[in-house]
Amino acid sequence: MRKRPPDLDGLAPSSLQLPPGGWSTVLDCLCDRFAAVPRPAWLDRMARGRVVDDQGRRITPDTPFVVGLEVHYYREVAEESTIPFEEVVLHADEHLLVADKPHFLPVTPAGVHVHETLLGRLIRRTGNPDLVPLHRIDRDTAGLVLFSTNPDSRARYHGLFRERRIEKRYEAIAPALPDVTLPLLRSSRIVAGEPFFRMRETQGPANSETRIDVVARGEPHWRYALTPITGRKHQLRVHMDALGAPIANDGMYPALCHRTAGDYSAPLQLLAKRLSFVDPLTGLVRSFASELRLEH
C-alpha cells in the first residue's frame, strides 16, 4: 500500500513518475529533468530526507533508476524572503476555513514562493495538512480565500465553484468612466497573451463575463463593485483595462511593469470583498466579508 509522504513545514511534496530514459540513478534523472536545480542541491535534499519514493523510503544518490518509479520531493528556494504582511482567519469549522489574504502573498507555491504562501502559513498555523484552497486569487489581489478543511466534504464545496453557485464580489479602485453607463455586463473572449502569463481579449465567442457597477465616485478614481460570472485568469483586470479604466497600481495591464524583489509599495487596488453561497451540507445561506480596505 502506498504511503502519502507527509507535509514538511506546511508544504506538500511535488511528485514525478520517472519517464523512460537511459539514466543509471534517480539522481541523474532528476538532474537532467530539472536542469535549473544544481546537482549539489539534489544531494543536499537527499541527505536531509527530502526526496522519497511512494513508500516513503529515502532516495539516495545511489538509488537505481527504474522507469515508472514515483519520486516525491520537497521544493526549496534559496534565501526565500519573508513577505511582511499577515493573513487573518475570519472563520474556521470542521469543513471550511475562510482567510483574509494580504496583498503580495501567493495562495499556493509558485516560482520563488514556496513556504511564504497562504496555504503553507495556514497549514503551519492550524496543523491541518488536509487544507486545500477551493479557489484562487492572484498574488497581487487581497481578500477572501475559502479553504476546505475536510476531504470528506470537499467535493460538495468544490461543486459551488464548478457549478457557479457561489457569488464572489470584488472591489476595485480605477479611473472614472463618466461616458460608460453603469451597471453593465462585460462579456468578451479572453485568451493567453504575450508574455504567457498575461491575458488579452480577442475576437470570437465570449468565454468571460463580469458585472461592473460603481460604488463611489471620486476624483480622479472611482470605487467599483465587480462580480465575476465566469472565472478566467486575470478576468477582472482585463475587463477593466478594456473599458479604459485599468485598476490602480496594476503592473500588468495595460503595460507590463517589472517590480523589484521586496518592493511592497503601490499594491494592486483589487480586493476580494465578499463570498456568499448556500451551504451544500446545511442548506443555510452563508456570507463572509473581508475586513481589509483599499487605500484610495
Would you write out the chain's pLDDT as a tens digit for each of its 296 residues?
455 676 776 677 888 999 999 999 999 999 999 988 889 989 999 998 999 998 889 999 999 999 999 999 988 766 678 899 999 999 999 999 999 999 999 998 876 777 789 998 998 899 898 899 999 999 999 999 999 999 999 999 999 999 999 999 999 999 999 999 999 999 999 999 999 899 999 999 999 999 999 999 999 999 999 999 999 999 999 999 999 999 999 999 999 998 888 899 999 999 999 999 999 999 999 999 999 999 86
Residue 153 exposed, middle or buried by CB count within 10 Å (0-12, 13-18, 19+):
middle
Q: Give me the residue label for grid cell 504511503.
A: 3
pLDDT at site 11: 72
CA distance readout (Å), 60 to 12, 64, 126: 20, 9, 32
The domains located in the chain, with CATH, are 14-73 (3.10.290.10), 88-289 (3.30.2350.10)
Catalytic residue among 53, 100, 138, 140: 138
pLDDT at site 110: 72
Closest of 111, 112, 123 to residue 87, by C-alpha: 123
pLDDT at site 111: 67
Tell me the longest C-alpha to C-alpha distance in the chain.
69
Sign of the CA dihedral with 233 first, then 239, 241, and 246 last: negative
pLDDT at site 1: 47
Query: Is the entire prediction scored with pTM above 0.85?
Result: no
pLDDT at site 113: 73
CA distance readout (Å), 286 to 135, 165, 280, 282, 283: 17, 12, 10, 10, 9
Report which residue type is found at 253.
Y
What are phi and psi for residue 174, nearest 5 degrees? -155, 165
Q: Give me the residue label for grid cell 478594456.
A: 242
Q: Do the strands 142-148 and 270-278 form a parallel or antiparallel pair, or are they unpaired?
A: parallel
CA distance readout (Å), 156 to 95, 97, 284: 10, 15, 14
Cβ atoms of 88 and 101 within 8 Å: the answer is: no
138 is catalytic: yes
Q: Residues 6 or more apart from 284 whose CB is under 8 A from it?
A: 278
